[in-house]
Amino acid sequence: MVYIFVCIALISFVLAFKYKKPFILATPFVLFALYFLWQVAIVPLGFMETMRFIFSLR
């Protein structure tokens, strides 16, 4: 999975310089946030219980 995010980051980096559109650099961050939300959503607990569990880990 890490390799996929690295490839997406490299592709967005190249495209941002090729097309001179800096907002393309936000693509890896947006995709990582969506992936995080997806992983939280597939936990069989409620959203608040999942958030408490994640932030209570030490």
* 26-50 pLDDT per residue, tens: 999 999 999 998 988 888 888 888 8
pLDDT score at 51: 83
pLDDT score at 25: 94
pLDDT band of 54, cuts 50, 70, 90: confident
How many angstroms separate the CA atoms of 33 and 1, rounded? 14
Q: What are the sequence ranges of the domains in the chain? A: 2-56
How many angstroms separate the CA atoms of 43 and 24, rounded? 30
Mean pLDDT of the chain: 90
Looking at residue 54, its amino acid is: I
pTM, two decimal places? 0.70
SS3 36: helix
Average of per-residue pLDDT across 12-25: 94
